[in-house]
Structure 1
């Protein structure tokens, strides 16, 4: 069976999409159709957050990532998710945030230090070479949901959009991923990767989902349990146990 195609925002290519536009758009034009069904219960909260972001822009506060990318994690069909990696909030540096946790635009140099530490552990774990770019889109294409707990940030102000409503939406998203069932009623294959205390707070939502947990890869904590945790080989082992193959963690050369 062919995988479902990546859902794309039609207006994103034009670069004209605004947060105010998004707040008025039907939910199934903002996210993949099965995500629209899963998030229907928090649609009001999502529209409120998008209106808040429109207000930030109107007040002269740049917001990251761009409107066309703020819901990027939900463009891949919910049905295709095999691995959930939970981040905190987007990088506050202009040009870095692209709507996928830990990922940056492929042209960004140097890459953020947390991502550099992820690459170090990837090389130690699987022997895969570190890349000079930070585009993790190839992981997303294989069903790795790179989901930040908070999906936006004011430029230059890390954590500035916490407590503005995103947590309700991402809580619903994680719960939806963890509670998917196939036609036979069995839980669909999934492994959750929880790096750090913020991500660990999502564990109660995960039901019976196998979890790979460790310290966060940031420079402040990577040496306290992230390095040596071998998350990538552990994820693949848990996927194989569920009969779902492996993720090819090697990123392409750009």
Structure 2
């Protein structure tokens, strides 16, 4: 956790290529979230992921984005949130329930053989932007940061990415992610229930999002995404 001002740290940590895509309103929203955390030492101290990981998803350059997967908010478990939505570091065990459900759907959809770990960074390396509507929460408190204004930032992100006119597929998991659909214009959208155990059986299981993304990309004349995650353990 940085000991300095998040109001300054967050915008300064965003790669310049993304700053240009997101625009001034999005950068102002990002700084405003940091300012609210600065004014609330208790929230800031319990924030997850760590400040230097909050914007980790933006290590994928905007011009490399081929798919965006949106969830809700980060895992609240201690050391679970990695800065990539739904992903955890390789040493995390047991895996969070939502991630276990994603892996089950990946197996059912593509017959994928999966490693034991839950690191989804190979997807990010292949142009999949793994994001939540809210990029932080508090350890042990799901949804604790939903009033901070993160949606203003993620709205600006989507508007900016759509404005680049590059082709990508949007995958929206859950009600809050679904709120982005009106901003996506002609972008192909795959929408389903969230992979959480509370909702996975109400439309996530059987939705086949991974093959659907590749079908939409191939229909548009674009290359499919390699959803593999490494050797099976």
- TM-score higher than 0.5 here? yes
RMSD in angstroms over aligned alpha carbons? Answer: 1.9
Which residue is equivalent to 2:220? 242
Q: What SS is found at the alignment partner of 1:20?
A: coil
In the alignment of these two chains, the number of paired residues is 231
8 Å Cα contact 2:92-2:117 kept in structure 1: yes
8 Å Cα contact 1:56-1:63 kept in structure 2: no
Aligned pair partner of 2:193 in 215, 218, 228: 215
Structure-2 separation of matches of 1:121 and 1:213:
14
8 Å Cα contact 1:32-1:78 kept in structure 2: no
Aligned pair partner of 2:56 in 72, 75, 100: 72
C-alpha deviations, 1:132-153, integer Å up to 9, x for none? Answer: 2111100011110111000111
Higher relative contact order (CA 8 A, sep 6+): 2
Structure-2 separation of matches of 1:48 and 1:179:
23
8 Å Cα contact 2:38-2:44 kept in structure 1: no
User: Could you tell me how far 1:53 is from its partner in structure 2?
Assistant: 2.5
Does 2:27 match 1:49? Answer: no
TM-score norm. by structure 2 comes to 0.92
Q: What SS is found at the alignment partner of 2:4?
A: helix
C-alpha deviations, 1:215-249, integer Å up to 9, x for none? Answer: 11111111111111111001001111222211110
Structure-2 separation of matches of 1:25 and 1:200:
29
Q: In structure 1, list runs of 5 or more residues that go unmatched.
A: 1-16, 182-187
Structure-2 separation of matches of 1:21 and 1:90:
21
Q: 1:25 to 1:117 in 2, by over 3 A?
A: closer
Does 2:12 match 1:37? Answer: no
Does 2:178 match 1:200? Answer: yes
Structure-2 separation of matches of 1:50 and 1:212:
31
8 Å Cα contact 2:73-2:135 kept in structure 1: yes
Q: 1:120 to 1:45 in 2, by over 3 A?
A: same
TM-score norm. by structure 1 comes to 0.85
Which residue is equivalent to 2:140? 156
